[in-house]
Copies of this chain bind each other. A is one copy, B any other.
Amino acid sequence: MKRLSGKKIAEEILSELRPEIEKLILNNIIPTLAVVLVGDDPASAVYVGHKKTACKSLGIRSLEFILPANTTQEDLENIIIELNEDSTVHGILCQFPLPKHLNEASIIDLINPKKDVDCFHPYNLGRLASDNPTFMPVTPYGIFQILKRSGVDPRGKHVVIIGRGTTVGRPLSIMMSLKGWDSTVTLCHSHTKEIRTICRSADILVGAIGRPKFITRDFLKQGVTVIDVGINKVVDTNHPKGGHLVGDVDYKNISDIASAATPVPGGVGPVTISILMFNCINAARIASGLPVLDM
C-alpha cells in the first residue's frame, strides 16, 4: 500500500503558489487573510495556528481577530461587516465551530462571497453545484489534488463517500461528479443500508464521518484508494499528551487490500491548508479584477 503523504503534496502546492504571490506583490497587491476565532477551543486554536504559519511562509498577510467565548452575535456580525468593507482584506475565515449561542449559518451568509475563502457561503456552494465554481471547497479540492498528484485519475471511477457534512462530504460529492472530474459518486451516511457492500464497490473510498477506525478492511475492494478525512482524538492515558489522533480508517489493517491511503495526521489536513492559501490568492486576484488561477 502506498502512503499518500499529504505533507509532501501540500509542500508541492505551496511551492507552486509562492511565485504567484510574488507576482501579486510586484503589482502592489498584498494578499490578505483575516482570521476570526471566537472562544478558546484548543483544536480551533491549533488550526488557526497552522493557517497563520502557512500564510507567513508564503508572504500572505494574516490578520487575527481573537474574540472571547461570550461574544454576541451582533458583535461578531459587526466585525464581519467591517472586514467585508475593508478593501485591503481579500479573504475572511471565521473558524468553526463557534460557541453554541452563536448562529454559524448567519455568519457564513454575511461574509462577502468574494472573500469566502472557505467556500462555505451558499452562493459559492451553489456556483459549484451549477458547474461554474469561483472558489473551490477547501477539503474536497485538497482531496482531488491528493488523487491527481498521486496519479489516481477519478474520471469514470466509482467514488464512495461516507459522511454528508456540509464541509467535506456534500461538497465533495458535488465536485467529484462535475464535468472534468467525472466520477460516479455515491454519498453514504448514518441511514445507509448495507454500507459495507456499497463501499466494496468503490474505486476511491472517502471517510468523512468522524468515527475512529470506522472503516475496516471489510469495507474495501482489492486495489481501492482510501482517503481519510477523519481527525478523531482518542483518549490514551499512556500517551504523553493524554491522547492521540486517529482517522476514520483502520489504517494499519488495510495495507494488503488498499493500493493507497492517506495517513492521519499528515494526510488530508495539510493539503486542505494549502488549498486555503490557493483560495486566498484567488480572492486577491478577484478583488483586483484578475482571472482566478486553476490548479
Decide if A185 is an interface residue (CB 8 Å cutoff).
yes
Decide if A20 is an interface residue (CB 8 Å cutoff).
no
Docked complex Cα distance between A126 and B132 (Å):
12
| B-side contacts of A187, CB under 8 Å | 173, 177, 184-185
Decide if A244 is an interface residue (CB 8 Å cutoff).
no
Please tell me if the beta carbons of B123 and A191 are within 8 angstroms of each other in the complex: no
Number of copies: 2
Docked complex Cα distance between A173 and B159 (Å):
14
| B-side contacts of A186, CB under 8 Å | 184-186
Please tell me if the beta carbons of B177 and A184 are within 8 angstroms of each other in the complex: no
A295 CB to closest chain B CB, in angstroms? 21
> Of residues 164 to 213 in A, which have CB atoms within 8 Å of B's CB atoms?
164, 166, 170-171, 173-174, 177-178, 182-189, 191-193, 198, 201
Decide if A40 is an interface residue (CB 8 Å cutoff).
no
A95 CB to closest chain B CB, in angstroms? 18
Decide if A129 is an interface residue (CB 8 Å cutoff).
yes
Docked complex Cα distance between A155 and B164 (Å):
14
Contact with A193, one of B121, B132, B184 (Cβ below 8 angstroms):
B184
Please tell me if the beta carbons of B105 and A171 are within 8 angstroms of each other in the complex: no
| B-side contacts of A124, CB under 8 Å | 122, 126
Docked complex Cα distance between A122 and B131 (Å):
10
Decide if A284 is an interface residue (CB 8 Å cutoff).
no
With A122-B126, A124-B126, A129-B125 as contacts: A170 and B174 at CB distance below 8 Å: yes
Please tell me if the beta carbons of B129 and A174 are within 8 angstroms of each other in the complex: yes
Docked complex Cα distance between A259 and B170 (Å):
30
Please tell me if the beta carbons of A129 and B177 are within 8 angstroms of each other in the complex: no
| B-side contacts of A149, CB under 8 Å | none
Contact with A156, one of B156, B170, B193 (Cβ below 8 angstroms):
B193
Decide if A130 is an interface residue (CB 8 Å cutoff).
yes
Instruction: For the complex of A and B, list the 9 residue pairs with the smallest distance between their C-beta atoms, beginning with the closest.
Output: A122-B126, A126-B126, A125-B126, A182-B191, A186-B186, A184-B192, A122-B127, A125-B129, A123-B123
Pairs A–B under 8 Å by Cβ, sample size 11: A105-B132, A125-B129, A129-B170, A129-B174, A170-B174, A170-B177, A183-B191, A184-B188, A184-B189, A184-B192, A198-B201
